[in-house]
């Protein structure tokens, strides 16, 4: 599918024609990553953040936010919970927290890898090359860093420099790949200033970057942030647009792991997850952050999962089965990554 086809689908409003997009995406999903839905235990371990991204409620704009940082034992308890729930992966997510040292996080990763069979995914922002290497050595498997938009001018407007250093997430994604991480990225849908052309280019770029994981979700205005006050034109930040992005992403990156994200569920609850899974997605990231911290991870208002109760996890599994899918067993590595590693090994053997 080329740029103009992606672009046309993003503008498509005829339900009958969209059915064709959903069917194609679902078919590509089934043939490439199968019927398993992988569950990732999302642990939001710190809401401190040194950045001032224009859209995010954790940033320094939100001066009223109460801050927390979980300690290592609390994080290990979450890992234990993920194992208990039968999940294959723990996702350690935080703001870009200068109070989290490279060594401290490396120790946490090492403990999780020693004590559990879990794969470890990190999403802790734009850190430096030594830290990425240290964490990889400690056993981290995957790294998530959304590039948010492919429009460089828009990107720079919403990501202020930190200590005079320009933010360049595409460059970081290349570094992570070199270090052997499974690399994940994504964008927000309906960000002020984002055009249909930009969003089509975002999706095209997912393919060019050969990403292993791609998570995108609707922009949800967060009070106290500049983006919430913006009157720039934008692609609709709607549920249907989010499914279009999921479906097109699946078609462009057939072997990637693609979640139905929390932001989609924020627009339409559990049904948002299910429709996402039926339109290209194969991953869900249930929130396992201890309830007392969960509401404080305030990226945007009314985030799904904050109110979830005890039987949430068993219900989730039932609903996955009810739509004819299976709950993934094991780590659920991305086939895109497995094949790349395999190809690299073959190439190395041939060279010898």
**What H or E segment, with its residue span, contains residue 205?**
helix 196-208
Quick check: 259 binds ligand 5AD (CB under 6 A)?
no
**How far apart are the two ends of the chain, measured CA to CA in Å?**
37
Least distance (Å) from ligand 5AD to the CB of residue 96? 11
Quick check: 224 binds ligand 5AD (CB under 6 A)?
no
Rounded to whole angstroms, the Cα distance separating 46 from 96 reads 9
Quick check: 94 binds ligand 5AD (CB under 6 A)?
no
Between 83 and 162, whose beta carbon lies closer to ligand 5AD? 162
Rounded to whole angstroms, the Cα distance separating 1 from 281 reads 18
Structure tokens at 152: 């460089």
Quick check: 188 binds ligand 5AD (CB under 6 A)?
yes
Among 75, 105, 263, 277, binds ligand 5AD (CB under 6 A): 263
Between 217 and 328, whose beta carbon lies closer to ligand 5AD? 217
Between 10 and 58, whose beta carbon lies closer to ligand 5AD? 58
Instruction: Residue 136: count other Cβ atoms within 10 Å of its Cβ.
Output: 18
Between 102 and 123, whose beta carbon lies closer to ligand 5AD? 123
Best CA proximity match to 217, nearest among 162, 150, 148, 270 = 148
Place of tokens 């740029």: 3
Least distance (Å) from ligand 5AD to the CB of residue 136? 21
The torsion angles phi and psi of 39, rounded to 5 degrees, stand at -110, 130
Half-sphere exposure of 59 (CA within 13 A, CB side): 19
Least distance (Å) from ligand 5AD to the CB of residue 349? 38
Among 75, 300, 304, 332, binds ligand 5AD (CB under 6 A): 300
Q: 243 with 275: CB under 8 angstroms?
A: yes
* 3-class DSSP assignment, residue 313: helix
Among 22, 132, 219, 337, binds ligand 5AD (CB under 6 A): 219
Quick check: 255 binds ligand 5AD (CB under 6 A)?
no
Best CA proximity match to 275, nearest among 243, 315, 322, 248 = 243
Instruction: Residue 65: count other Cβ atoms within 10 Å of its Cβ.
Output: 18
Among 92, 122, 220, 283, binds ligand 5AD (CB under 6 A): 220
Rounded to whole angstroms, the Cα distance separating 46 from 70 reads 6
Rounded to whole angstroms, the Cα distance separating 325 from 132 reads 35
Binding-site string for ligand 5AD from residue 123 to residue 152, where x marks contact by CB under 6 A and - marks none: -----------------------x-x----
Least distance (Å) from ligand 5AD to the CB of residue 217? 6
Q: Candidates 166-174, 200-208, 216-224, 331-339: pick the segment binding ligand 5AD (CB under 6 A).
A: 216-224
Partners of 218 in the beta sheet? 189
127 sits in the region (left: phi over 0; alpha: psi -120 to 50; else beta) called beta
Quick check: 243 binds ligand 5AD (CB under 6 A)?
no
Between 105 and 264, whose beta carbon lies closer to ligand 5AD? 264
Q: Sign of dihedral through CA atoms 268, 273, 274, 278?
A: positive
Among 37, 39, 56, 285, binds ligand 5AD (CB under 6 A): 56
Among 37, 65, 253, 299, binds ligand 5AD (CB under 6 A): 299
Quick check: 337 binds ligand 5AD (CB under 6 A)?
no
Quick check: 89 binds ligand 5AD (CB under 6 A)?
no
Q: Candidates 71-79, 215-223, 304-312, 335-343: pick the segment binding ligand 5AD (CB under 6 A).
A: 215-223
Quick check: 276 binds ligand 5AD (CB under 6 A)?
no
Rounded to whole angstroms, the Cα distance separating 27 from 126 reads 35
Question: Residues interacting with ligand 5AD, by CB under 6 A?
Answer: 55-56, 146, 148, 188, 217, 219-220, 222, 263, 299-300
């Amino acid at each position: 599918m080329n740029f103009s086809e992606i672009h046309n689908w993003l503008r498509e409003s005829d339900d009958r024609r969209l059915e064709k997009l959903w069917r194609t995406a679902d078919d590509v999903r089934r043939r490439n990553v199968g019927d398993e839905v992988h569950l990732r235990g999302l642990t939001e371990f710190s809401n401190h953040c040194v950045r001032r991204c224009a859209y995010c409620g954790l940033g320094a704009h939100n001066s009223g936010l109460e801050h927390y940082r979980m300690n290592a034992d609390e994080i290990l308890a979450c890992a234990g919970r993920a194992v208990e729930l039968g999940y294959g992966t723990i996702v350690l997510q935080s703001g870009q927290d200068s109070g989290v040292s490279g060594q401290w996080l490396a120790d946490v990763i090492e403990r999780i890898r020693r004590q559990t069979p879990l794969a470890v995914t990190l999403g802790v922002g734009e850190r430096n090359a030594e830290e990425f290497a240290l964490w990889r050595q400690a056993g981290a498997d995957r790294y998530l860093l959304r590039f948010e938009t492919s429009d460089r001018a828009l990107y720079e407007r919403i990501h202020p420099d930190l200590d005079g250093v320009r933010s360049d997430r595409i460059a970081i994604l290349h570094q992570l790949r070199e270090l052997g991480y499974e690399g994940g990225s994504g964008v927000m849908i309906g960000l002020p200033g984002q055009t249909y052309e930009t969003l089509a280019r975002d999706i095209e770029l997912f393919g060019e970057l050969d990403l292993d994981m791609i998570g995108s979700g609707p922009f949800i205005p967060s009070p106290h942030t500049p983006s919430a006050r913006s009157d720039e034109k934008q692609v609709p930040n709607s549920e249907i647009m989010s499914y279009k992005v999921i479906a097109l992403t699946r078609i462009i990156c057939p072997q990637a792991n693609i979640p139905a994200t929390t932001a989609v569920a924020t627009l339409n609850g559990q049904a948002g997850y299910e429709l996402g899974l039926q339109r290209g997605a194969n991953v869900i990231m249930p929130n396992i952050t201890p309830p007392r911290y969960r509401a404080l991870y305030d990226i945007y208002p009314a985030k799904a999962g904050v109110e979830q109760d005890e039987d949430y996890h068993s219900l989730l599994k039932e609903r996955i089965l009810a739509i004819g899918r299976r709950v993934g067993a094991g780590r659920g590595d991305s086939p895109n990554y497995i094949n790349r590693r395999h190809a690299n090994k073959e190439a190395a053997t041939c060279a010898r």
